[in-house]
Amino acid sequence: MLKNRVISILVICTCSTQILMADNFNKFLNIALQQSPYLKSAYLGKEQLAYEASIVTRYENPEVDLTYSKFVPKNDVTDTGYGVSISQPIRFWSINKDKKKLSKKILAGSEKFYQMDKANFIKELSLLYAQYEFNEKLKTLTQESFNITNEIYDISKERYTLGSISQADLLQTQVALMEIQVQDENAKIESLNRYYNLLKFSGITEKINLELNHTFNVKPNKGILNSPELLSMKSQQNINHARLDMESNAFDSINVSVGYDDEPDQTVNRFGISIPFTIFNTRS
């Protein structure tokens, strides 16, 4: 019953999916790198950080103030006037320098974060591939064991017919055959499960044929200083330091304003500078 269910699953999967050829793991990896939703999401995160880096250095918009006045003196002769003023926050040179530094750190970090996500994806995909390869080889071994045990059972039946072994010996051989048959069917189900877990993580929707002969090479420990995870942590540290330098200033800008007022009896030109007093919040 279990064996028939496994065969049915294999037939359904074969008929309902297209077959995508991939001779080896490297070709399979290249396909996964192009189709993986995980990496597409990571790339969008990289672009988002790039936009955030450009936002950091943006200047604040100026403000324009327009006023209209109506004058009613005691002699009841009304008159009108108007005024216009423009104000603009002006950043200090040191603040502008800190913002540009933070922008560069965020932009550099976006690439490091993406490379870390890519490296983690390749690592997880490699582990799933290795697990699938292990189960495929285990399935082959259990199939060979089943064939051998089945031959032994056939020989035992003939010997039992000839009277050279007892019925207990025959039953023991039959039990061994049933056990190895269950192991064989479980190995097929587990291998199929590993296969679709591999496709699910890779983002590949087509059925794909894989050659299970890839050898993974482990880099020596001396390369750990250049590992994507460590580089991304350093980038995050650099971003935090740059953000701290920028936000720890007592105040970052002054407000410059110019204005013009046209009144019935006079014209007023105004120029002003607003400087914040760091009394209650020194950002220390």
Measure Cα distances from 248 to 53, 106, 182, 243 in Å.
Answer: 19, 18, 68, 8
Q: What is the pTM of this model?
A: 0.72
pLDDT at 1 over 60: no
Residue 20 lies in a domain: yes
* 23 pLDDT tier (thresholds 50, 70, 90): low
Residue range 162-206, pLDDT digits in tens: 888 888 888 988 898 899 889 989 999 999 999 999 999 988 888
Q: How far apart are the first and last CA of the chain?
A: 73
Residue 102 lies in a domain: yes
| Mean pLDDT, rounded, for 197-216 | 84
Residue 148 lies in a domain: yes
CATH number at residue 26: 1.20.1600.10
Measure Cα distances from 131 to 29, 44, 183 in Å.
Answer: 15, 30, 17
Residue 27 lies in a domain: yes
Residue 46 lies in a domain: yes
Percent of the chain scoring above 70 in pLDDT: 89
Q: How far apart are CA 261 and CA 259, in angstroms?
A: 7
* DSSP tag of 86: E
Q: Give the total number of structural domains in the chain.
A: 1
pLDDT at 18 over 50: no
- Domain span at residue 32 reads 2-61+93-217
Token pair in block for residue 274 = 């607003």
